[in-house]
Structure 1
Amino acid sequence: MVSCREPYLHAYSNQGVTYITPASGMATAIMPIMTACGGVWIAHGSGEADREVVDELDHIAVPPEDPKYTLRRVWLSKEEEDGFYYGYANEGLWPLSHIVYSRPTFRAKDWEMYRRVNEKFCEAVIQELHGKPGFVFIQDYHFSLLSRLIKNKRPDVVVAQFWHIPWPNREAFRVCPHGDDILDGLLGNDILGFHLRYHCLNFLETINHNIEAIVNYERFSVTRYGRESLIRAFPISIDFAAISEIASSEETEKRSAEIRGDFRVRDKWLGVGIDRIDYTKGIIERFAAIDCFLEKYPAFRGKFVFMQLGPISRIRIPKYREYNDAVYRVMVEINDKWKLKDWQPIIMKKIHLSLGEVVAYFRAADLCIVSSIHDGMNLVAKEFIAARVDHDGVLLLSQFAGAARELPEALMINPLAVDQFADQIRNALEMSPEEKTRRMSKMRNSVERNNVFRWAGHILKEMKKER
């Protein structure tokens, strides 16, 4: 397994060195797979105390409390991290892939660092293979060059990659100055996976109009240099059983009751949103819809509280700093507009939550809002459903999130259509208990059936065919 984000990072605390599970939808999905299957997970060692706990091979056995696999850490210099991660990956490829009207930035020095880090990870993969046959499973847009680099050195190894974010249409992709190199790199994979068939088609169209290759639309494959790459849709999911088990615990029941008590909503409605502070997540649009909702439906003033939770993200990137400031500014304006003596409509906590805390907030809430402007899948929506073991609660889900294709029983929203969004908040709060149960039961059945182990199983089955 190869990813930029590591499943565990180590930091210093008053008790010495401790570990943290970073906020990452990708890591959330992959961790149970690695725990079940074992192997080696290669990732960037980004924690301040990461070097303190590895052996001479940069290995550490994880999970810390019950080791099941090996984490191999790759070290990056500040220059490499700035150019590779903050620069090319997240100022270039991230906005390029998400249609949210944010212009991507491509710098020659960032591209050089991106190439260098992909080469560094290739070296780590080759070392961990020890000259033996194997499967390499690469995660996400940070490593668009990696599969080709691996295949050039080890053509016998089966390589698959999952692209966790959308793939843009071919016209949008044209602005990338290194597009041909990226496309060639991705075609080093035996299997390249996306969340949706729509993203697969976008990729095939991009290939067909940019580089020399044979595109087979019937097989959903691309042949370049005489070697075929399969392009497949694998909608990612979650460990439904694990989240449902947490949600069913007495500890979670107690904590969810405390949450409602803490925010004085025992007799009110509580909404929740859990996201990184990211301009693709539609947080400002969410707040604008709450403002419109309170304007249109005054009976809910003083009776509805919305909790926005999640960590600050990529703050070293100017666009993210500006967005973080804008989110706070909009929240203050709305609260100043509507606040009463003992009530304000929006409460925001910019914190990283443990999975147990996330589940407790989901259990406490009457509704959950996922209002992404553009999203490959969005696992928050599925986590909310898995947490609702009471078959209660309402999910408001952006039509622009990949999860909307799988969860038609959610209340669909267009985050940019503020009045319609506001109406759906009201519809959620006024929905009958029977209708809530009907919708939630169907969504729970769907997510339970299409869980992360089934997702991984489909990919591994395709990889074995290629062996």
Structure 2
Amino acid sequence: MQTLFPPSVYAPPSTCAPALDEEIHLPTLKVVSYSGHGDSGGVASSLAPLAHRIGTKVHWLSVNRASDKSATTCSDHYLDFSPTESGFEYHNARIPAALLEGHERFSSRYLWPLLHGMPELAVFDQEDWRKFRDVCQRVASESQVISEGSFPSLSWLHDFQLALCAPLIATERGTLVCQFWHVPWPRPENIASSPVAAEFIEALLANKLLGFHTAEYAHNFLATVELLFKDARVDPMAMEIRYKNYFTRVAVMPLGIDVDRWRHLASQVRPIAEVLAVKHRLANQIVLGVDRLDYTKGVLEKLYGIEYLLTLTPDLRRRFHYVQISQKPRSDEDDYRRYAEQVKGKIDEINERFSLDGWKPVVHIDEELSQKELAAWYQAADVMTVNSLRDGLNLIAKEYVACRQDEQGVLILSENAGCSAELSQGAIIVDPRSPSEFARAVTASFSMGVEEKRRRMTSMRHIIGWNQLHDWALGFLKQALS
């Protein structure tokens, strides 16, 4: 099988990572994230055994109020520690509600569409920008407090909501700062004219290491720096930037998932998967979508594809169901509420137009499902659809592959999802804005033979096995400390 990444960009851990005890010596690791440490199977789970093995104390500071109810909040002058089962100490930054709301508005109304290559949807508000900056400064200050006296330490920032934190944290003696960027970085022409671009990018250059999911995002960032900072020395081959007193390395490191956990979940819920079709009265073929109701996810475009398919091939009625599992959007802003209403309206329209003898083509499950429930649906689905208009990575596609221990099932994947760079050998790649391409991909999935499905799924399972979550976390820390 051909490797999907040049060795300089990404290689399987077995070929690029030495044994654990050779590589990292670090008294304190500070992880600073917007939304908290997440569920079991997330980044915290991947760091816990590593931290225990090398004797590193891990402080995890999160910003989002609702993200981690087990963590402590900070007082006016200090942060209380909260020991946990994993040996981590979790902290919540105390941010005044008005500031946090402005920060969230700026993130969702302006930065989210801008970074996803949709600048026409971005709404800039000067006051919200001020609050965004203020929140980043407060988080950076509190990050310094939680590890006072620890020397040296590594601060690992996560995602775009904390884009301005690095310069202040970097002033702390004995602290290295690095950041992983979980969303896309757009083409230079889509961000260069932004009133915040220069401050945004200069702040990111305070990181010793800046990680992206794909080579496209990394090179877009390098090109943006070159465009906006004429005195910056940008080396696109070495992926290094020198600007003022900063020396920043850029790395391409697609996020992995905890494959063993998803395989275990799949084994646990296999009996449930086998009865889902009966429970929901589904047809022989199940086409599945699991998406946040976010305009970047291409859910409406998938529905246009289903509509096109049934218009073009009416004899497919009663032979399949499209099951849309809708997860709540990242924000309660009006744009997201309107989008959710559009999706529901389109589902009703399709079901009314194409219903036949009690059969309706779209089954809409509009609720949050647990990982176990998702693992059951992944196994029940003959076809999985990921149709993002733009997506940093998309872990849903990888979770589906991890759960298919039968090496069956077909993945239809948008060319604009970050994970398409890894999974293109096994998935059917489509233009997410083309209903006809989506319809043809579904038709091809229905007629695909068992051996062809196995070949494709085996290829993708090898890929996600090479780059698991713990490999990603270890590889990032290794590069940050090298």
TM-score normalized with structure 1 length: 0.90
Corresponding letter in the other structure for 1:317:
E
- Residues of 1 paired with 2:361 and 2:50: CA distance? 45
In the alignment, which residue of structure 2 is the partner of 1:60? 82
Asked whether 1:30 is paired with 2:52, we answer no
Measured in 1, the distance between the counterparts of 2:417 and 2:383 equals 17
- CA offsets, 1:352-393, max 9 Å, x none? 111111111101111110000011111111010001011111
Please state if 1:224 is matched with 2:243: yes
> SS at 1:419's partner residue?
helix
Which of the numbers 129, 138, 141 marks the counterpart of 2:157? 138
**Greater displacement, 296-305 / 326-335:** 296-305
Deviations 1:156-190 (A, max 9, x none): 31111011111111111123211111111101100
Residue number among 431, 434, 440 corresponding to 1:417 in the alignment = 434
Task: Go from structure 1 to structure 2 and tell me whether the alpha carbon gap of 1:196 and 1:284 turns closer, same or farther (over 3 Å shift).
Answer: same
Aligned mate of 2:96, from 77, 83, 86: 77
**Residue deviations 1:48-74, cap 9 Å, x none?**
993897697454344xxx444221111
Counterpart secondary structure, 1:406: helix
1:107 correspondence with 2:129: no
Residues of 2 paired with 1:350 and 1:40: CA distance?
36
Matches within 5 A, 1:245-256: 245-249=264-268, 252-256=269-273
Q: Distance in 2 between matches of 1:427 and 1:374?
A: 24
Partner of 1:118: 136
Of 67-76 and 420-429, more deviation after overlay is shown by 67-76
1:106/1:176 contact within 8 Å kept: no
CA distance in 2, matches of 1:342, 1:35: 51
3-state DSSP class of the match of 1:105?
Answer: coil
- Residue 75 (structure 1) shift: 2.4
* Structure 1 alignment gaps of length 5 or more: 9-20, 22-26
Distance 1:31 1:414 in 2: 34
Displacement of 1:135 in angstroms is 1.0
Report the CA distance shift for 1:109/1:449 in structure 2 as closer, same or farther (over 3 A).
same
**Residue deviations 1:57-95 (CA, integer Å, cap 9, x gap):** 454344xxx44422111123321222111x221111110
Does 2:335 correspond to 1:313?
A: no
Give matches, 1:411-450, under 5 Å: 411-450=428-467
Q: What's 1:165 paired with?
A: 183
* Separation in structure 1 between the aligned mates of residue 200 and residue 73 of structure 2, nearest angstrom: 32
Distance 1:60 1:327 in 2: 42
Q: Cα gap change, 1:100/1:307 in structure 2, threshold over 3 Å: closer, same or farther? A: farther
Partner Cα distance (2:409, 2:61) in 1: 38
CA contact (8 A) 2:72 2:90 kept: no
Map 1:218-297 → 2, pairs under 5 A: 218-249=237-268, 252-265=269-282, 268-297=284-313
Greater shift in the superposed pair: 440-449 or 292-301: 292-301
Distance 1:454 1:67, change over 3 A: closer
Residue 271 of structure 1 aligns to a residue whose secondary structure is strand
Match of 2:168 among 149, 154, 158: 149
- Equivalence for 2:6: none
User: Deviation digits for residues 282-335 of structure 1, max 9, x if unmatched?
Assistant: 000001101111112223201211111132214531211111111111111111
- For residue 248 of structure 1, what is the amino acid of its counterpart? S
User: Matched residues in 2 for 1:52 and 1:68: separation?
Assistant: 13
Counterparts of 2:170 and 2:395, CA distance in 1: 31
Letter in 1 for 2:200: I
Aligned 8 A contact 2:74 2:93 in 1: no
Question: Are the structure 2 counterparts of residues 314 and 381 from structure 1 closer, same or farther at C-alpha, using a change threshold of 3 Å?
Answer: closer
The alpha-carbon deviation at position 33 of structure 1 amounts to 2.0
Relative distance call for 1:88 and 1:101 in structure 2 (3 A) is closer
Distance 1:405 1:157 in 2: 34
The answer to whether the 8 A contact 1:149-1:185 is kept is no
- Pick from 27, 30, 33 the counterpart of residue 3 of structure 1: 33
2: CA distance between counterparts of 1:161 and 1:372?
24
1:332/1:166 Cα in 2 relative to 1: closer, same or farther (>3 Å)? same
Distance in 2 of aligned mates of 1:246 and 1:88: 37
Question: For residues 303 and 7 of structure 1, what CA distance do their matches in structure 2 show?
Answer: 42
Cα separation, partners in 2 of 1:94 and 1:257, compared to 1, 3 Å: same
2:23 paired residue number: none
- My pick for the range that moved more, 267-276 or 138-147, is 267-276
Structure 2's unaligned 5+ residue stretches are 1-30, 52-57
1:403 is the counterpart of 2:424:
no
**Aligned with residue 66 of structure 2, among 47, 56, 73:** 47
Instruction: Report runs of 4+ in structure 1 exceeding 3 Å deviation.
Output: 48-62
What is the aligned residue count? Answer: 440
SS at match of 1:353: coil
Rounded Cα–Cα distance in structure 2 between residues aligned with 1:316 and 1:159: 32
- 1:101–1:361 CA distance, 2 compared to 1 (3 A): farther
Helix, strand or coil at the partner of 1:347: strand
Equivalent-residue separation in structure 2 for 1:148 and 1:374 (angstroms) = 29
**In 2: Cα distance, 1:197 partner to 1:421 partner:** 26
Is 1:389 the counterpart of 2:424? The answer is no
Which of 114, 122, 125 is matched with 1:96 structurally? 114
- Aligned 1:202-221 pairs, distance under 5 A: 202-211=220-229, 212-221=231-240
Q: Provide the residue aligned with 1:344 in structure 2.
A: 360
Specify whether residues 68 and 357 from structure 1 end up closer, same or farther in structure 2 by C-alpha distance, changes over 3 A only: farther
Pair 333,59 (structure 1): closer, same or farther in 2 beyond 3 Å: farther
Aligned partner of residue 296 in structure 2, secondary structure: coil
Read off the aligned partner of 1:7 and give its amino acid letter: H
Gap change, CA 1:48 and 1:455, over 3 Å in 2? closer
1:94 and 1:315, CA in 2 relative to 1: closer, same or farther beyond 3 A?
closer
Q: Which moved more, 1:93-102 or 1:52-61?
A: 52-61
